[in-house]
Chain A
Amino acid sequence: MEKKITISPVTRIEGHARVTIHLNDEGKVEKAFFHVDQFRGFEKFSEGRHFSEMPIITPRICGICPISHHLASAKATDEIIGVEIPKTAKLLRELIHMGQIIQSHSMHFFELAGPDLILGWDADPRIRNVVGLIQANPELALKAVKLRKFGQRIIELVAGRRIHPTFAVPGGVNSALTPTARDEIMKGIDEMIGYIKEGIKLAEDFIEKNKEECGKFASFPTGYLGLVKDDGSLELYDGKIRFMDKDGNIVKEFKPQYYLRYIGEKVEDWSYLKFPYYKPFGFPEGVYRVGPLARLNIADKISTPIANEEFKKFKSINNGKPLEGSLYYHYARLIETIYALERTREILEDPEAMSQDVLRLGEVTNEEGIGVVEAPRGTLIHHYWVDEKGTIEKVNLIVSTGHNNWAMSKAVEQVAKAYVDGKNLKEGMLNRVEGAIRCYDPCLSCSTHAIGKMPIVVELYDNNGNLIDFVKRD
């Protein structure tokens, strides 16, 4: 008799995301899936609106990385009016993007990864959470707050507000940087780099103590995809898309505008979310990962000095070959945060960042626009089609959680097979399954939030669909 375990993080949108683990007669894991709802609703919602509204509307997709949607959207609208935006506007957009990376990555590391890395997989679930973490190490938690606040403050100082800014517009941005804002941000950078270095020390200690687990936990071959600069170094705001195969060979580099030639989306009947893959390889051979691990795997170097020193250590772990273990996402996230802080300083030191030349006006000249950025969780694609008046006719969004859909499911299945015993279900086993998902930091809480239901329920069903057991975190 086959049994099914469901792990269901419930927001107010039912079925937003869940894990199902199917057991065989012996209580062993037969297969496992990670299911996520997709964002087509938002795409339909956007149809009929004027394209210039999109950079304001789309940040509402996500309460955690609204800036990524804001910028990908603005880049798409630049193409619709067919203008090359001023260099200053590019710098200021990238600056708030760095703020986004700093706040999002630091939040994930300290709030979601921290309890596993610092308190341990098998710690009592009553304390193995962020509250347990702040009680165990309030000093570290305070630094996490300061880091996130610093990232948010960059956004607020440059774009005028912390969430849902109206800063980036078709053709550039709507205000220049003030010397006061520049000076305030500059003052905090070194202190924040110090905090992240403490995080890196924690991650390196964890890797050192758990080498075998880091190598095996949710570790599997895939391709990797993300933006790089022209010289092959890490890039988060602009650049070209690089696809690397599972062996570390650079297979293709292409302009983001050609993404439809190279990225296909496979439909599976058990998931609402499609499975992107590298078209020339087909599915499933062309499945790939995005996000911090993928970005460091595909990059040749990092253009800022402190981050590049850490990058060399990262690359040395597997002798320059791609790191496959999902736990390395946590380490990569911290290295990227260092880069974001250093890049923030570089931008602020560029005299052009202070220029008043921030906007090029234009009319609708192209019927399509594509904007791509590296959001904290991975490559984010906005593609709009408009009529001659600029009214949105069609929208295609591929979000990071979508790109990583196959990999998250694979990670869940691999970890479930390694750790879950259906006859003797223990909390720590399920935590490892959730831990595999946490590596990818998927946006499960996108779009809405409300008071209502318990976040995690684990249910066991027999093969007739009867609920035979359940576990609830409370």
Chain B
Amino acid sequence: MKKILLIGFGNEYRRDDGLGIKLLDLIENNVEKMKVQELTFDISEILKDYDIVIFIDASIEGDEISFRKISGEKAFSPLTHHTSCEELLIWTKTLYGKTPEFYLLSLRGYDFDFGEELSKKAEENLKKGLEFLKGFLEGLNE
């Protein structure tokens, strides 16, 4: 049985930015879950122990929901404290010699102002994301 970790990240007080966190709360499957506001490099030490890691975040552009496998190719920000999924993959591989499969589920958000409620369109995307993720997790266990 593959060891799976779901990581939801974002800020629940910035409306749709909290999509990843909110989706995590709705998942009832028997998988491990972790909530963070931002990804930071030290969590590679946790990720190394999993076979599959699925990151869930809001997105400012693109489709209502999108899902992709993470490869190690991306530009790296030299100014911000945020670590990308791609960087985390390289950290995990280089430091620990482990290569879990990383996936990113992005849910399109529309309103990132201060507040706790999701926008109506984001609510819809949350439902779609939930259905997709349930199906994906069930597929992994078959």
Which of A63, A431, A449, A455 is in CB contact (< 8 Å) with B57? A449
Q: Given A63-B81, A449-B10, A449-B57, do A474 and B75 touch, yes or no (CB 8 Å)?
A: yes
Q: Smallest CB–CB gap between A106 and chain B, Å?
A: 9
Question: Counting CB contacts under 8 A, is B59 at the interface?
Answer: yes
Closest residue of chain A to B116, judged by CB? A45
Q: Which residues of chain B come closer than 8 Å to A181, judged between CB atoms?
A: none
Which of A152, A437, A448 is in CB contact (< 8 Å) with B79? A437
Question: Counting CB contacts under 8 A, is B113 at the interface?
Answer: yes
Among the stretches B24-32, B87-95, B123-131, B133-141, the one at the interface with A is B87-95
Question: Counting CB contacts under 8 A, is B14 at the interface?
Answer: yes
Q: Which residues of chain B come closer than 8 Å to A42, judged between CB atoms?
A: 114
Of B35, B40, B45, most buried by chain A (CB within 10 Å of CB) is: B40
Q: Which of A455-473 contact B (CB under 8 A)?
A: 455-456, 472-473
Q: Which of A107-122 contact B (CB under 8 A)?
A: 107-108, 111-112, 115
Q: Given A434-B78, A448-B17, A452-B59, do A63 and B42 touch, yes or no (CB 8 Å)?
A: no
Q: What's the Cα separation between A134 and B91 when bound, in Å?
A: 7
Q: Smallest CB–CB gap between B19 and chain A, Å?
A: 9
Closest residue of chain B to A454, judged by CB? B75
Question: Counting CB contacts under 8 A, is A251 at the interface?
Answer: no
Closest residue of chain A to B36, judged by CB? A163
Closest residue of chain A to B72, judged by CB? A131
Q: Given A11-B80, A445-B81, do A453 and B60 touch, yes or no (CB 8 Å)?
A: yes
Q: Given A9-B80, A449-B9, do A130 and B14 touch, yes or no (CB 8 Å)?
A: no
B1-41 vs A, CB cutoff 8 Å, 1 = contact: the mask equals 00000000111111001000000000000000001111111
Q: Which residues of chain A come closer than 8 Å to B77, judged between CB atoms?
A: 9, 455-456
Q: Which residues of chain B come closer than 8 Å to A41, judged between CB atoms?
A: 113-114
Q: Which residues of chain A come closer than 8 Å to B37, judged between CB atoms?
A: 60, 63, 66, 163-164, 449
Is B41 in contact with A107, judged by CB distance below 8 angstroms?
Answer: yes
Is A12 in contact with B17, judged by CB distance below 8 angstroms?
Answer: yes
Question: Counting CB contacts under 8 A, is A57 at the interface?
Answer: yes
Counting chain B residues whose Cβ lies within 8 A of the other chain, the interface size class is: 35 or more
Question: Counting CB contacts under 8 A, is A361 at the interface?
Answer: no
Question: Counting CB contacts under 8 A, is B112 at the interface?
Answer: yes
Is B80 in contact with A451, judged by CB distance below 8 angstroms?
Answer: no
Q: Which residues of chain B come closer than 8 Å to A178, judged between CB atoms?
A: none
Question: Counting CB contacts under 8 A, is B82 at the interface?
Answer: yes
Which of B13, B78, B82 is in CB contact (< 8 Å) with A438? B78
Q: Smallest CB–CB gap between B29 and chain A, Å?
A: 23
Q: How many residues of A contact B (CB 8 A)?
A: 55
Q: Which residues of chain A come closer than 8 Å to B113, judged between CB atoms?
A: 41
Q: Given A12-B112, A41-B113, A451-B59, do A148 and B79 touch, yes or no (CB 8 Å)?
A: no
Q: What's the Cα separation between A181 and B10 when bound, in Å?
A: 29
Q: Smallest CB–CB gap between B47 and chain A, Å?
A: 11
Q: Which residues of chain A come closer than 8 Å to B59, judged between CB atoms?
A: 450-452
Q: Given A449-B57, A451-B106, do A149 and B42 touch, yes or no (CB 8 Å)?
A: yes
Is A455 in contact with B95, judged by CB distance below 8 angstroms?
Answer: no
Q: Smallest CB–CB gap between A146 and chain B, Å?
A: 8
Closest residue of chain B to A125, judged by CB? B78
Is A45 in contact with B13, judged by CB distance below 8 angstroms?
Answer: yes
Is B40 in contact with A107, judged by CB distance below 8 angstroms?
Answer: yes
Question: Counting CB contacts under 8 A, is A267 at the interface?
Answer: no
Question: Counting CB contacts under 8 A, is A447 at the interface?
Answer: yes
Q: Which residues of chain A come closer than 8 Å to B106, judged between CB atoms?
A: 451
Is B60 in contact with A12, judged by CB distance below 8 angstroms?
Answer: yes
Q: Which of B59-84 contact A (CB under 8 A)?
A: 59-61, 75-83
Q: Which residues of chain B come closer than 8 Å to A260, judged between CB atoms?
A: none
Q: Which residues of chain B come closer than 8 Å to A449, judged between CB atoms?
A: 9-11, 17, 37-39, 57, 82
Closest residue of chain B to A115, judged by CB? B78
Q: What's the Cα separation between A138 and B17 when bound, in Å?
A: 33
Q: What's the Cα separation between A455 and B76 when bound, in Å?
A: 8
The 19 listed contacts between A and B (C-beta, < 8 Å) are A12-B58, A60-B11, A107-B41, A111-B81, A112-B79, A134-B91, A138-B95, A141-B95, A145-B95, A449-B9, A449-B10, A449-B17, A449-B37, A450-B109, A450-B112, A455-B77, A455-B78, A455-B80, A456-B77
Closest A-B pairs by Cβ, 4 of them: A455-B77, A63-B37, A63-B38, A45-B114
Q: Using CB atoms and an 8 Å cutoff, list the residues of chain B in contact with chain A.
A: 9-14, 17, 35-42, 44-45, 57-61, 75-83, 87, 90-91, 94-95, 104, 106, 109, 112-115
Q: A449-B37, A455-B78 provided; 7 other pairs, C-beta below 8 A? A: A131-B90, A434-B79, A448-B17, A451-B104, A452-B59, A454-B75, A473-B76
